[in-house]
């Protein structure tokens, strides 16, 4: 019993992840630019911002690749099964979990400087890191529910486009 809504939901979630990651990429790049140009001769940056920048780049590339794979109903080539998707998903999910947790811990009291560029950009970084993490978590749940509904663990080696009953395997 294949749900025909699952590919559309997963496409929408991956699209949202790519949008949130693009915004996070811009925010982290702006923060790195700001900190590297803070004072002449003083190079300073937050390592967690770099981690979030790298994670957002990986999430953008991953999202676009998975969107392409689902949309074109690919069944051959690299990363075409739920097993492959789960492996890449888990790495990026862990990176967002760590980055978001550390950033939230570092910048927990930004209300004292609300309205300044520095605080506003840090607040936005934390907010978009959380949006990315939540979207990734929703993607994980939607994939697990889809797999549970369609033969459970046995379907993890099926094509990740999720349209097995269509007869249209490319």
Distance CA 118, CA 33 (A): 12
Q: Exposure string (b/e) for 141-164, b if CB count within 10 Å is 16 or more?
A: ebbeebbeebeeeebbebbbbbbe
- Alpha-carbon distance of 31 to 47, in angstroms, equals 11
Q: Write the CA distances from 27 to 33, 50, 124, integer angstroms.
A: 10, 11, 7
pLDDT of residue 62: 93
For 81, phi and psi rounded to 5 degrees? -115, 165
pLDDT, position 3? 47
pLDDT of residue 98: 98
| pLDDT of the chain, 170 residues: tens digit per residue | 444 556 778 889 999 999 999 999 999 999 999 888 876 766 677 899 999 999 999 999 999 988 888 777 555 566 666 667 788 899 999 999 999 999 999 998 887 877 888 889 999 999 999 999 999 999 988 877 777 776 655 555 555 555 554 443 33
Give the CA dihedral 98, 99, 105, 108, nearest 10 degrees: -150
Burial (CB count within 10 angstroms: exposed 0-12, middle 13-18, buried 19+), residue 27? buried
H helix and E strand count, the chain: 4, 0
């Amino acid at each position: 019993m294949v749900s025909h809504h699952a590919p559309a939901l997963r496409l929408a979630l991956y699209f949202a992840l790519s949008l949130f990651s693009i915004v996070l990429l811009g925010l982290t790049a702006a923060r790195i630019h700001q900190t590297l140009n803070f004072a002449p001769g003083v190079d300073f940056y937050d390592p967690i911002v770099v981690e979030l920048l790298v994670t957002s780049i990986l999430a953008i590339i991953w999202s676009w690749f998975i969107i392409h794979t689902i949309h074109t109903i690919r069944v051959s080539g690299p990363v075409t099964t739920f097993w492959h998707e789960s492996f890449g998903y888990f790495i990026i999910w862990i990176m967002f979990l760590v980055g978001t947790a550390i950033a939230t811990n570092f910048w927990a009291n930004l209300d004292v400087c609300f309205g300044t560029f520095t605080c506003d950009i840090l607040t936005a970084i934390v907010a978009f890191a959380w949006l990315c993490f939540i979207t990734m978590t929703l993607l994980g749940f939607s994939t697990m529910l889809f797999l549970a509904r369609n033969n459970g663990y046995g379907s993890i080696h099926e094509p990740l486009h999720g349209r097995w009953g269509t007869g249209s395997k490319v």
